[in-house]
Amino acid sequence: MASTSSTSSDKTRGLLRELGLRDAVAIVAGTVIGSGIFLVPNSVANQLPSFAAVLLVWLVGGLLSLFGALALGELGAAFPGAGGLYVYLRQAYGRPTGFLYGWGLLTLIHSGSIATLAVGFRIYLAQIVPLTVVEQKAAGIACVLVLTGANCLGVRSGKGVQNIFTLAKLAGLALMIGLLFFGGHVRMLHASFWPKPATGFHLASFGIALIAVLWAYEGWHVVSFTAGEFKHSRRDLPRGLFYGTLVVAATYLLANVAYYCVLTPARIQQTQRVAATAVSSVSGGAAAFLISVLILVSIVGATNGMILTGPRVYYAMAEEGLFFEAFGKVSARFRAPVFAIVVQGVWAACLTLLGTFQELFTYVIFTAWIFYGLAVAGVIVLRIRRPELERPFRAPGYPWLPAMFTIAAIGITLSAVVSSPRHALFGIALILTGLPVYAFLLARGKGKPASIQMNRATK
């Protein structure tokens, strides 16, 4: 669907401006907090035996995510239209880079994240309800398709589901943390803070643990995709990124302190179900059931956040003529890019059948962090290339904080290549399949002038 400007499109037949600061925080916190805080502490403990090092790595992960969020806050305020990272990458590096990100988002990064969450959903559901392998796969697909249907009803429906599940998971986590603090002992923290003199700090182990922690922080950027649906995008998007990431970091730090109040480092190293083990140690075995329910609620909320946000990128690309027209069509009744939502949902459902949790996770992390690093570095690029650009919000700590995030992104990408070169090559190959698609769209004369997005962003 072609449109003359984003202003007329947004106000008449395009996206509905319905989101506020509370919704932004719910999207960030609700999307980031999935299953990571329940699973990652085991991986971290196996790399870092001391509680001091564990706290440090979660703090570093939170700070890096916060640095990235602040950088995107600057870009989001400068380019407040729909599309988020796609828009920022196109403005900083040109149309091909922006297109490849959007293509990679649909084919692997975003859809793969949804599929990864769906696989986690079916695993934890099977711990509550006995299911065959076929029934587990059907449950994962059903989770994706039901939430896809809810988001087809419009942004009001999508944000309603998101707000409810975010509130439920934060309340559940607060209850869990409070229970562990009440039943735990400060002496456990003291004993595990630095267990023995022989326990050293190894940079390589810290790096491996940091990769796992950053996976737990994955998803803070997706709220930028929905910038075109904010009532006051320039004000609320940067604030939502900051406050949402802050809520996540605080929750993660408190949860880890709570775990170490009741479990020794050795015990955490021995169990992958750290949350369930910790709660069971103070409240009995029945509490493990409640933790499984909490994890399911958390995963559903994260899945909905991904399903809500991704299609806005494909919509923005189609609006500029850099994607197939059908992705830019908005339902007159629900004011949502229904076709884009359905295609993403069906493809993500298919991906749940194509790999294990670990394989899907590896594909997503490697390809995603290439673009995260480029997007945050785009703050520096645009400050140099376009100093005259209006920036209602400026990232603090420039250029050091964006540079630190970019360096961390390079490290994560290189670590993924070294640890799993086959998965890395597959991810690169899949993204590069977008080049002939891009050439096809240009040959058809679909691409609009590069100035269109700038006009859309500043109106």
Distance CA 41, CA 62 (A): 14
Q: What is the pLDDT of residue 8?
A: 36
**Looking at the predicted structure, is the pLDDT value of residue 10 above 70?**
no
Question: Quick one: angle between helices 203-216 and 357-385, nearest 10?
Answer: 90
Write the pLDDT tens digit of every residue in 219-246. 889 999 999 999 999 999 999 999 999 9
Euclidean distance between CA atoms 14 and 312, whole angstroms: 11
pLDDT of res. 287: 74
Interhelix angle 287-309/274-283, rounded to 10 degrees, is 150
pLDDT at 330 > cutoff 80: yes
- Examine the pLDDT at 208 and tell me if it is beyond 60: yes
pTM for the model = 0.89
Instruction: Place 199 in a pLDDT band, splitting at 50, 70 and 90.
Output: low
**Structural domain includes residue 444:** yes
- Residues 6 or more apart whose CB falls under 8 angstroms from that of 59 comprise 249, 253
Name the burial class of residue 440, with classes exposed (0-12), middle (13-18) and buried (19+) by CB atoms within 10 angstroms of its CB.
exposed
User: Considering Cα of 238, then 244, then 248, then 249, what sign does the dihedral take?
Assistant: positive
Tell me if 140 is assigned to some domain.
Answer: yes
Instruction: Identify the bridge partners of residue 19 per DSSP, sorted by sequence position.
Output: 230
- Output the CA angle 313-364-265, nearest 5 degrees: 130
454 pLDDT higher than 70: no
Which 3-state string (H, E, C) describes 53-103?
A: HHHHHHHHHHHHHHHHHHHHHHHHHHCCCCCCHHHHHHHHHCHHHHHHHHH
Where helices occur in 331-433 by DSSP H, the ranges are 338-351, 357-385, 400-419, 421-432
Highest mean pLDDT among 32-41, 197-206, 267-276, 313-322: 313-322
- Note the pLDDT of residue 171: 95
Instruction: Give the domain extent around 444.
Output: 6-458
Q: Does 413 map to a domain?
A: yes
The residue among 7 and 254 whose pLDDT is bigger is 254
According to the model, what pLDDT value does residue 165 have?
96
**Residue that wins the pLDDT comparison between 357 and 353:** 353
Per DSSP, the three-state class of 19 is: strand
State how far the alpha carbon of 412 is from the alpha carbons of 34, 111, 366, 445, in Å.
Answer: 20, 21, 8, 38
Domain count along the chain: 1
The rounded distance, in Å, linking the Cα atoms of 144 and 307 is 8
pLDDT score of 7 more than 70: no
Give me the CATH number covering residue 432.
Answer: 1.20.1740.10
For residue 257, tell me if it sits in a domain: yes
Higher-pLDDT residue of 187 and 330 is 330
Q: How many CB atoms lie within 10 A of CB 226?
A: 30
- Is 90 exceeded by the pLDDT of residue 251? yes
Between CA 263 and CA 281 the distance in angstroms is 8
Amino acid residing at 373: G
68 pLDDT exceeds 90? yes
d(CA 240, CA 246): 10
Asked whether the beta carbons of 410 and 377 are under 8 A apart, the reply is: no
> Does residue 1 belong to any structural domain of this protein?
no
Placement of tokens 């003291």 in the chain: 190
| pLDDT per residue as tens digits for the range 389-429 | 999 999 999 999 999 999 988 888 887 777 778 877 888 88
Mean pLDDT for 102-128 is 90
Distance, CA of 265 to CA of 285 (rounded, Å): 20
pLDDT for residue 152: 97
Q: Is residue 220 part of a domain?
A: yes
- Contact by Cβ (8 Å): 118, 349: yes
Q: Answer yes or no: are the C-beta atoms of 120 and 35 closer than 8 Å.
A: yes
Mean pLDDT of 60-72: 93
Residue 439 pLDDT grade (very low, low, confident, very high; cuts 50, 70, 90): very high
pLDDT at 174 over 70: yes
CA distances from 185 to 145, 174, 176, 239 (A): 44, 18, 15, 36
449 in a domain, yes or no? yes
- Computed over every residue of the chain, the mean pLDDT equals 87
Please tell me the predicted confidence (pLDDT) of residue 168: 95
- Asked if residue 72 belongs to a domain, the reply is yes
User: Which of 102-106, 267-271, 296-300 is predicted least confidently?
Assistant: 267-271
Q: What is the pLDDT of residue 216?
A: 87
Average pLDDT over residues 421-450: 80
Question: Angle at Cα 57 formed by Cα 42 and Cα 25, nearest 5°?
Answer: 90
